[in-house]
Amino acid sequence: MDDNGASDESGKKADIERSKSEGKELSKEEKQRLRKEKKQQKKNKDKKDEAAKPDGGAGAPSPSHKSPSSAPGADAPVAPVEPAKGKAEPTAEKRPRRDSDRSSKKRDGGQQQAAASVAKPKVPPGELQPVVKRLPEHVQVDDPVVVKKWAKKLERQQIPLRSDYGYKVSLFSHLHQYSRKAPLTQQVSIPSSVIHPAIVRLGLRYSEGIVTGSNARAVALLHTFKQVIRDYTTPPTEDLARDLINKLKPYISFLNQCRPLSASMGNSIKYLKKEIANIPSHCKEDEAKSKLLGCIDSYVKEKIILAAKAIAEIAIEKISDGDVILIYGCSSLVDRILCEASRAGRKFRVIVADSRPRLEGREALRRLVRRGVGCTYVLVSVISYVLPEVSKVLLGAHALLANGYMMSRVGTSQIALVAKAFNVLVLVCCETYKFCERVQTDSFVSNELDDPDNLIVTRKGRTQLARWQDVRSLGLLNLVYDVTPPDFVDVVITELGMIPCTSVPVVLRVKSVNL
């Protein structure tokens, strides 16, 4: 943390490096100079933001505090810094205490760290302020620098690193490819102490595929976080909000390695972090915990359960008697819509298109047949033969991107394309919590590679691909997602109503304003 803060000041970097390498003790003058510079920057910022909130003993005369001797006055230069946003104010009281602890431990490093950590909450990018470095959103496994950074981050969080498996097709070599035979739990001790056992279980369920589907994954994640929050106790010197978020970060890295996070999971985590950060610091621990648990429950209820209900109601309007509906794979939302429609008495039949290697359509088929809906089961290769008799195509989405593109199971864009060619109505159902701010126009940049060994199948006692790794020129590609352009989608059904695909950014904007 202190490295980040210090290194971003270009002028100081060389000095600090030098002095650190020399003797780990900056001279008094240098420290003073450093602090002066930081004060100046903050003053400029404060003037701009007009956030004059004098703390006790703080206020304008910050330069005057610098003249007394540097070392023992570790608290003084830090305390008068005024937080620009009110949120940081309650933590300012904790800051002097924490910083005095730090300064008593190691003086030179402490001041840098103190100054840098103060600088962090005031983030405006592009100023003289140190910019917080974030890891790029896109995975870049073929870039060794990024991989090293990533490995270091994991090591700091004490999370084991999962190694990639097998030869990756060159277009997708920037993505991770893991093997199911090498789960991450091999490197976790058996009564797992560093990682909460519920998180280990969840990660295992993700990587084994027991919890699949973006809704299921989000709900399971929130359930596990509820358990984590219940078992959490605040250490005496820390603030619940900050410490809890720091506790959750390694867990999220762990889950990310077991299986890359879905958009629904990402949005749920963002919501949870926001809720945690919004807890007032005077709140007692039990109160805070029960508040958080309540928030999670209400999130699931509103965004997932009630949204599904609303979507089903809206979608049922679109289903008329005598319809032939084509669905693809297994989407919990589509399944719900069709079950509700069947219960409401609509007479329709369904064609389930399925694809290897997951063959999720079998599960959708089972659920529909159990309801008494007449079904036909085909593989995706024959959809152009069945489309002439199809009246509507109903698809589920994994995420809706900010430029109107839809991310879903691989094969969906194929179906949407062929349906468009046949002029068949394509309806996509998606809850608003799956709308994400990413922009993507192709399926290459950000995708997920599943275990290539899943493509190996044994027919009539022969397994043709058993030795695929020995053939140098052969690569197995098992993609999970693909991206459908908005031209192929006629309408998106959300709990806000039926919107065109291009209205997704509007919804996102409205959501962020509301937050």
Partner 1 sequence: MELQAVLMAAGGGSRMTDLTYNTPKAMLSVGNRPLIWYPLNLLERVGFDEVIVITTKGVQKMMSADLKLKKDVKMKLDFVCIPEDTDMDTADALRHIHPKIKTDILVLSCDLITDVSLHDVVDMFRAHDATLAMLMSKAHEFTETVPGQKGKKKTAEQRDFVGLDQSGKRILFMANEVDLENGLSIRKSILTKHPRIFIKTGLVDAHLYCMKKEVVEFLMDNKSISSVRGDLVPYLMRKQFSKTRTCPKLNDDADEQSQKRSDSSTNNELLISSPDDPLLQLAQELSCWNDHHGDMSEAYHGGKLRCYVHIMDQGLCFRVNTLAAYMEVNRLVPKLLFEEPAVHPSAVISERCQMGSDSMIGAQCQIADKTSIKRSTIGSSTTIKEKVRVTNSIIMQGVTIEEGCNVQGSVICSNVVIGRGSYLKYCLVGSGQRIEPAADKTNEVIVGTDQMMEI
In the set 73, 183, 475, 505, which binds partner 1 (CB under 8 A)? 183
Pick between residue 188 and residue 279 the one whose CB is nearest to partner 1: 188
Adjacent-strand bridge partners of 406: 400, 484
Closest by Cα among 277, 308, 250 to 430: 308
DSSP-derived secondary structure letter, 306: I
Residues 226-265: x where in contact with partner 1 by CB under 8 A, - otherwise, as a string: xx--------------------------------------
Token reading at 390: 């199809």
268 binds partner 1 (CB under 8 A): no
In the set 208, 285, 317, 442, which binds partner 1 (CB under 8 A)? 208
Token reading at 441: 């126009």
Taking CA atoms, 150 is separated from 71, 83, 162, 252, 405, in Å, by 36, 31, 11, 14, 29
Regarding beta strands 392-396 and 374-379, do their DSSP bridges make them parallel or antiparallel, or are they unpaired?
unpaired
Residues 276-315, interacting with partner 1 (CB under 8 A): 300, 305
Regarding beta strands 497-499 and 462-463, do their DSSP bridges make them parallel or antiparallel, or are they unpaired?
unpaired
H-helix or E-strand containing 147? helix 144-157
Residues 420-459: x where in contact with partner 1 by CB under 8 A, - otherwise, as a string: ----------------------------------------
275 binds partner 1 (CB under 8 A): no
- Phi and psi torsions of 41, nearest 5°: -60, -40
- Phi and psi torsions of 430, nearest 5°: -155, 135
CB 217, min distance to partner 1, A:
8
CB 334, min distance to partner 1, A:
11
Q: Of the listed pieces 48-56, 66-74, 107-115, 180-188, which binds partner 1 according to CB under 8 A? A: 180-188
Pick between residue 58 and residue 204 the one whose CB is nearest to partner 1: 204
CB 72, min distance to partner 1, A:
43
User: In three state form, how does the secondary structure of 448-489 look?
Assistant: CECCHHHHCCEECCEECCCCHHHCCCCCCCCECEEEECHHHC
CB 312, min distance to partner 1, A:
13
- Phi and psi torsions of 399, nearest 5°: -160, 155
Adjacent-strand bridge partners of 400: 406, 435
362 binds partner 1 (CB under 8 A): yes
- The answer to whether 184 and 257 have CB atoms below 8 angstroms apart is yes
d(CA 463, CA 242): 53
CB 366, min distance to partner 1, A:
6
Pick between residue 165 and residue 405 the one whose CB is nearest to partner 1: 165
Size of the site for partner 1 (CB under 8 A): 42
CB 401, min distance to partner 1, A:
22
Residues 6+ apart with CB under 8 A from 74: 99, 100, 102, 103, 107, 110, 111, 114
Pick between residue 217 and residue 434 the one whose CB is nearest to partner 1: 217
Residues 366-405: x where in contact with partner 1 by CB under 8 A, - otherwise, as a string: x--xx-----------------------------------
d(CA 238, CA 306): 37
CB 45, min distance to partner 1, A:
44
211 binds partner 1 (CB under 8 A): yes
Residues 136-175: x where in contact with partner 1 by CB under 8 A, - otherwise, as a string: ----------------------------------------
223 binds partner 1 (CB under 8 A): yes
Pick between residue 332 and residue 503 the one whose CB is nearest to partner 1: 332
- Dihedral sign for Cα 406, 410, 415, 417, please: positive
Token reading at 227: 């358990």
In the set 154, 200, 428, 489, which binds partner 1 (CB under 8 A)? 200
CB 184, min distance to partner 1, A:
10
Q: Of the listed pieces 2-10, 188-196, 246-254, 419-427, which binds partner 1 according to CB under 8 A? A: 188-196
Residues 6+ apart with CB under 8 A from 14: none
Q: Which residues lie near partner 1 (CB under 8 A)?
A: 183, 185-186, 188-193, 197, 200-201, 204-205, 208-213, 215-217, 219-220, 222-223, 226-227, 300, 305, 329-332, 360, 362-364, 366, 369-370
